[in-house]
Copies of this chain bind each other. A is one copy, B any other.
């Protein structure tokens, strides 16, 4: 079952993104009848918990220039504590305090997000390539749409943590932007909003005056070239979402007041 009026919002895990403002804005929209699904990150919390527990984060850069967290078994447990236990639980609490019937879950729950585990990944360090085999990350290849539809029909607000289950039942760290894209695609959402700590995609990062207002679907590859660091995954996620039938994607600022409403009113970079 598709529903064209669903909005999926991804809340960045980076510092600066204002979760309270996003929650307050979400509450107003939901009370006005809007169907909403939230997907969050948690990288900042996972990093600081790892530091506090003596296991600081490590990162991998792929040959094509994407950066991701190196998630060995110890890091996976820290990630689960930070992302499922802290970010997801506190976000769910905050939404309940605003009178919403929030439902925190991760992709393992009811096999919401099933992913292919990356059995061996290439990492580039100081120009040299290395194979990594104990990484618990993956790429989502299936979303349990029926579960999401059941939750939305029952009046729950899904709040999704970026953890998936592998085909062998393992917990996997997955990229939150691309998880949000997969969820939006599964629901054939009208809009996917990726909130982050910058105003959108910039032609010359970090010069905010070079913000790109609109990227048509045929210009996404060029935008992918232009994007720096983690912005690459947002552009990649945008393309995946559009291909899955999402109406449009907005990469917008999550730092100000009413960030969801502002994005819907035209702020940020609209893709599609």
- Using a CB–CB cutoff of 8 Å, the interface residues on chain A facing chain B are 49, 52-53, 77, 80-86, 88-90, 92-93, 95-99, 101-106, 108-111, 146-147, 150-151, 154, 156, 163, 165, 168-171
- CA of A20 to CA of B53, assembled, Å: 26
Q: Are A104 and B99 in contact (CB under 8 A)?
A: no
Q: Are B93 and A77 in contact (CB under 8 A)?
A: no
CB distance from A258 to the nearest CB of B (A): 21
Residues of B within 8 A of A154 (CB): 110, 146-147, 150
Which chain B residue shows the least CB distance to A159? B109
**Copies of this subunit:** 2
Name the contact of A92 in the complex, choosing from B83, B93, B108 (C-beta under 8 A): B108
Q: Are A86 and B89 in contact (CB under 8 A)?
A: no
Residues of B within 8 A of A96 (CB): 108, 111, 165, 169-170
A-B contact pairs, 26 of them (CB 8 A): A52-B52, A52-B53, A77-B86, A80-B85, A81-B85, A84-B88, A85-B89, A92-B108, A92-B171, A93-B108, A93-B169, A96-B108, A97-B170, A98-B169, A101-B110, A103-B105, A104-B105, A104-B106, A104-B109, A105-B105, A105-B109, A110-B151, A110-B154, A110-B156, A150-B150, A150-B154
CB distance from A134 to the nearest CB of B (A): 16
- CA of A39 to CA of B102, assembled, Å: 20
- CA of A156 to CA of B147, assembled, Å: 10
- CA of A81 to CA of B105, assembled, Å: 14
Since A104-B108, A105-B105 are in contact, a sample of 10 more A-B pairs with Cβ atoms closer than 8 Å, ordered by chain A residue number, is A52-B52, A81-B86, A84-B89, A93-B108, A93-B165, A95-B169, A96-B165, A97-B169, A97-B170, A102-B108
Residues of B within 8 A of A98 (CB): 169
Q: Are B106 and A110 in contact (CB under 8 A)?
A: no
Q: Are A110 and B103 in contact (CB under 8 A)?
A: yes
- CA of A83 to CA of B101, assembled, Å: 21
Identify the 8 closest CB pairs spanning chains A and B, nearest first.
A85-B85, A96-B169, A81-B85, A97-B169, A80-B89, A81-B81, A84-B85, A93-B171
